[in-house]
Structure 1
């Protein structure tokens, strides 16, 4: 059944590629939307059949493939990957609905989006190291083309920079996988946390270092982030929705799946330094966002800061903080998708994203009142206001991380306050005040432009009011991730007088 999540979009892409040249652009669009809708329905059906008590992999598929190379087609689902699978399908559908009907070269455009959807699903489901790497790399070229062909004026620079950074990320991850297989003496690339148990701690730390940098580029974390603002600024709105909402989650997912789970002993050694890295990323992202005047670049830098929260929670490695990790991945995916979609509408209607120029867009008669209202909701969610999914994720992260790293957690909480600062600056300058004459009588926002943002906003509120839905899927898995390794939670930074203390998890 899991293969359907990969092959449905692949088959949809093939159909779009083979449709006759005389077919209308609208038919291509409908085909892509129907394909992803089916994949979303399948993911939701799987979610209803998911056994929340079972700590092992579910719906497993294990088929021989290139066995001499150690590559098997092994898929599995647990509480870590399930929310991300649903998120992938949902936000891909939102991206398709956000695409202008008159997009240029629609056949190639929709085909590439479906390939990305399949690649991301495969990466979240793969339980063979080499298979994960293949899916991880499969999304590289389609996204490069989507930025390079449908991007802004500097799309060539942005897409090339993205390509180089992501290629380096993949190389480091592959080196770590090859090194683990070789040093452990394994005969295949099967995902097996027991492989690292016999390795010297030094080898584990080196391999984990490659994993951290590789996925740190993808997340991205400071100072590996410089490709992200350029990519977002030049990418079209639907691609920014996919990039921030889904593709960055490959990095955070990989950090937990292949860092924390594969190298628990090395993780315990490096955890204090990871917590410091997280604080730096949180504060850098927040302070840099404050300095931006481009709405899209501000939202992009906010992603750097919010991804730092996930690293902090992973470094703390407590059941509550890991639950917060998954919540933050879903929360950030929804909130960033909403904000990028709304920024796209503002740019389409006004022709600018400069917050020093825009003003008064909340004006009911002539402005963009619905867009402004949804933007305020998105800003509140990102700032962690109660009743929104952002509050739940940050509460879990801070509550779970404080046990292990109280100082780093308190410093990271400053980032939440700064989030409110820069987004309030954005809202106050852009949506309040007197609407300038140059923006008088803006084109109306159609329902096709409103519906994607409204759908995401509704989900942000629902998950904020009913977080138990997501806890129901995730809690058993995140707890089991640590119960299998009872010496993983590091509770203090190493010094000569106070070395790393590793406390058991009851």
Structure 2
């Protein structure tokens, strides 16, 4: 099942790209939608095959690959990766099947989307350090092309900047993985939580910092964040949805899996620094969002702030904070995808995202009332309104981190208030007031085009009202990871 989840989209992408003769845009979209729907069905089936009471890897697949290098094809899924795999499959299907058809070079576009989705699933499911790195690097290629071909006026600059930053991230990650395997004397690159335990403390700290910087670029954490606003502003709406909804989670997932998971013994040494960076990222992202006049750039900076919450939770490394971190990944994935989708509708109907120009879009007669309503729901969820998934995720993070990093948690809680400020500014300026007389009646958004947004909004509310349906899959895995960090911290105290 795990291999099918990875290779079905990749094979479908290869068929689309290599299909002899011409293929209409409609058929390219239908073919990609069938492949994405099949991958989503497999992801849903995973939840039925998965035992939520077991915290360890399940549904393991192992095959020898390059034995001379210690590289094996090892896949597995646990409570940390399962929700992210489901999120990736869901967003891919909604984007391909539900959004407006891409007419320009459609075969290449949908093929790259499927390739991107398959590579991301491979990274979440990889149980081998080098195999993870391979998928981590493969996803750069389709994303770079999706931005540079279908992006905005400065797409070349944004795509190149993204490629340079993330290539640097991959290089640091490869150095860290190679050094960890060689220094520990391991015979293979198989994921092993005890891999670093045999190394001296100084070597562990050095390798951990190297890996954290690599994933910090991907997350992104301030000061490695500057590629993200440019990439979002220039990317098309579907690419922005994938970038914010799924691809940023490769960074936060890597921090938990390969940072805390491999180096629990020295995690307390770097944790205060991470908590400080979490505060900086949260406040910087939130304050930067307040001063933006471009709706899309405001949402992009909000992502930087919300990734800071996950970094705080990882630094605290308590069972509750880690559970909140995974919930925040899913919460942010759903909410940010909805926000970028609605911003895309505004731009396609009005021709602008400038908050100094937009006004009164909620007007029922000539405006975009459904778009405005869904945007209001998304900003309330992002601001942590009770009854929506954003609230429960942030509450668990702050409650789980407060006892460990009290001051840092309080500063990050300020970020929640700032989220309400900048999103209220967005909604008030763009959607309330009187629609200008010079702006003609805006083209309607067809009901079919609203289906992806309505599905995202439904999940945001369902998981907010009944969060147990989300946390049940993750709680055993994050509890085990948090307990491991506690035990390792006590061992480090005894050693020092």
Question: TM-score by structure 2 length?
Answer: 0.98
CA contact (8 A) 1:98 1:237 kept: no
Look up the match of 2:423: 423
1:94-493 equivalences under 5 Å are 94-97=94-97, 99-488=99-488
State the alpha-carbon separation in 2 of the partners of residues 503 and 211 from structure 1: 23
Aligned pairs for 1:49-68 (under 5 A) are 49-68=49-68
Q: What's the offset of the Cα at 1:34? A: 0.9
In structure 2, what is the Cα distance between the partners aligned to 1:273 and 1:359? 43
| Post-superposition CA distance 1:45-74 (Å, at most 9, x none) | 110121111121100001000111111000
Contact 1:489–1:503 (CA under 8 A) maintained in structure 2 = yes
Give the SS at the match of 2:73.
Answer: strand
Q: Do the aligned partners of 1:278 and 1:308 also contact (CA within 8 Å) in 2?
A: yes
Quote the Cα distance in structure 2 between the aligned partners of 1:237 and 1:194. Answer: 42
- Work out whether residues 122 and 132 of structure 1, in 8 Å CA contact, stay in contact via their aligned partners in 2: yes
Distance 1:502 1:380 in 2: 42
Change (3 A) 1:166 1:320: same
Which residue in the other structure is 1:494 paired with? none
> Deviations 1:202-223 (Å, cap 9, x if unpaired)?
1111101111110000000111
2:401 and 2:488 map into 1 onto residues whose CA distance is 13
Query: Within 1, Cα distance between the matches of 2:362 and 2:134?
Result: 46
Q: Which moved more, 1:181-190 or 1:428-437?
A: 181-190
Structure 2 unaligned spans of 5+: none
- Matched residues in 2 for 1:54 and 1:117: separation? 27
Contact 1:487 1:503 in 2 (8 A): no
**Deviations, residues 409-448 of structure 1 (Å, cap 9, x unaligned):** 0110000000000000000000000001232300111123
CA distance in 1, matches of 2:274, 2:103: 42
Q: Partner of 1:86 in structure 2?
A: 86
Q: Distance in 2 between matches of 1:20 and 1:129?
A: 37
Task: Supply the distance in 2 between the matched residues of 1:214 and 1:94 (Cα, whole angstroms).
Answer: 30
8 Å Cα contact 1:381/1:390 also seen in 2:
yes
Distance 1:489 1:32 in 2: 48
Aligned-residue offset at 1:18: 3.5
Gaps in structure 1 of 5+ consecutive residues: 491-500
Number of positions where the alignment pairs a residue of Structure 1 with one of Structure 2:
494
Rate the CA distance shift 1:97–1:342 in 2: closer, same or farther, 3 A: farther
- Shift of residue 23, structure 1, vs aligned partner: 2.6
Secondary structure at 2:64 match in 1: strand
Tell me by how many angstroms 1:449 deviates: 2.1
- Asked whether the equivalents of residues 274 and 315 of structure 1 are also in contact (C-alpha less than 8 Å), the reply is yes
Q: Give secondary structure in 1 for the equivalent of 2:59.
A: strand
CA distance in 2, matches of 1:346, 1:485: 46
CA distance in 1, matches of 2:287, 2:485: 37
Deviation of the 1:248 alpha carbon: 0.4
- State whether residues 384 and 391 of structure 2, in contact with CA within 8 Å, keep that contact through their aligned partners in structure 1: yes
What is the deviation of 1:12?
Answer: 1.2
- Quick check: 1:70–1:188 contact (8 Å CA) kept in 2? yes
User: 1:173 touches 1:214 (CA, 8 Å); kept in 2?
Assistant: yes
Question: How far off its partner does 1:93 sit?
Answer: 1.4
Q: Distance in 1 between matches of 2:135 and 2:18?
A: 23
Q: CA deviation at 1:39?
A: 0.5
Structure-1-length-normalised TM-score: 0.96
Query: Secondary structure of 1:64's match?
Result: strand
Secondary structure (helix, strand or coil) at the match of 1:486 reads helix
Deviation by residue 1:226-266 (Cα, 9 ceiling, x = unmatched)? 00000000000000000000000000000000000101122
Q: Distance in 1 between matches of 2:390 and 2:363?
A: 27
Structure-1 separation of matches of 2:188 and 2:303: 36
Shift of 1:102: 4.2
CA distance in 1, matches of 2:348, 2:219: 28
Aligned in 2, Cα 1:146/1:102: closer, same or farther, shift over 3 Å? closer
Say what the alpha-carbon RMSD is for the aligned residues: 1.4
Report the alpha carbon displacement of residue 97 of structure 1 after superposing the two structures with TM: 3.6
Q: What is the CA–CA distance in structure 1 between the aligned matches of 2:413 and 2:258, rounded to whole Å?
A: 27
CA drift of 1:193 comes to: 1.5
Aligned counterparts of 1:205 and 1:134: Cα–Cα separation in 2: 24
